[in-house]
Every structure is written in structure tokens, then in C-alpha cells.
Amino acid sequence: FLDAGHKLGGKKEGGGGSDYHALGAMEVICSSMAKTLQTALHPPDWLQGKYMAVRYEDLVVEPIKTLRQVYGFVNLAVSPEMEKFALNMTSGPGYSSKPFVVSARNATQALSAWRTALSYQQIKQVEEYCHQPMAVLGYERVGSPEEVKDLSRTLLRKPRL
């Protein structure tokens, strides 16, 4: 994934070009997201009330409630078929051996897949570059490798949006 000793100041001696580009991409993506979220936190008059932030985790944990909020925001009613589809996609009986593949299955598995698929070092790198958008969206930073692996502990809090 990313070289733990690498910083964005330049390419590491002896190669490391792919790490350099991965870190650069992460920095650009997270910086752009931070700017977008700052605009959402302090919207200009023309934008107020014209957007809604929806976290994937909220849709998975409370699919019907979240779906109704989204549909209500655009003045539509949720059909029973759409509610059934949302429930099937988030809490269906299926299982995938691939952690980030979501189909008719229990999507709560995908919520925490990063906690088992990424190393503690990789998670800390993401947090280093993405701490601002993470804070706005209500994602807590991890404190230890043990905390990452403790799937009974949620790392979500209410978003600031």
C-alpha cells in the first residue's frame, strides 16, 4: 500500500515512485474533500438547504430511515419495493469472501472490512492525510492496533454536517 517511512516532500532514494504517487493522490483527494466539506459547513446563501450529506455507514446501519430522509429531501416518497431492495442490499443473507464487494448480503461486514484488510500503519497514513474530512464526517481516529481490531467498538460519531 504505502511505505511507512515515506513523506510527500520527494521521491524516496532507491525508488518508491509508486508510493510517492499513492501518497500524492491521497493528499489531493483528501484536500479536495476537506475544501468541499468546509463549503458545506459554511455554505453561501445560494447553497443553503440544497444539499444533503449521506454516509455509507448510516445507510447500512439504518437503511430505511436514511433512505426516507434522502427521498424526503428531494420531496419523493420511498416505494415499498425500494425499501425492500435497500434492506436486501444491506442486510441480506449472502456473504462475500471479498471484503469490499457489496451485493445482497450483510453490508455491515463491509463497514469494518478496512479494519481487518489494512495494517495499523496504513490506517495511520490515511488518518494523517484525511484527518480534516474524517473529523467533519464523524470518523474517529484509532489509538492503537488493538483498537482497530476490536470490531465491537464503533469508530463513528455524529457528523458535523
SS3 letters for 33-75? HHHHHHHHHCCCHHHCCCCCCCCHHHHHHCHHHHHHHHHHHCC
Question: C-alpha cell of 26?
Answer: 491521497
2 has a pLDDT exceeding 60: no
Instruction: Summarize pLDDT for 5-50 with one digit per residue, the tens.
Output: 544 444 444 445 567 788 889 999 999 999 999 999 999 999 999 9
Residue 145 CB-half CA count within 13 A: 6
pTM to 2 decimal places: 0.75
Domain ranges in the chain? Answer: 32-95+105-149
Helix (H, G, I), strand (E, B) or coil at 105: strand
Contacts of 137 (CB under 8 A, 6+ apart): 37, 53, 55, 159, 160, 161
Instruction: Summarize pLDDT for 88-136 with one digit per residue, the tens.
Output: 888 866 555 665 555 556 677 778 889 999 999 999 999 999 999 999 9
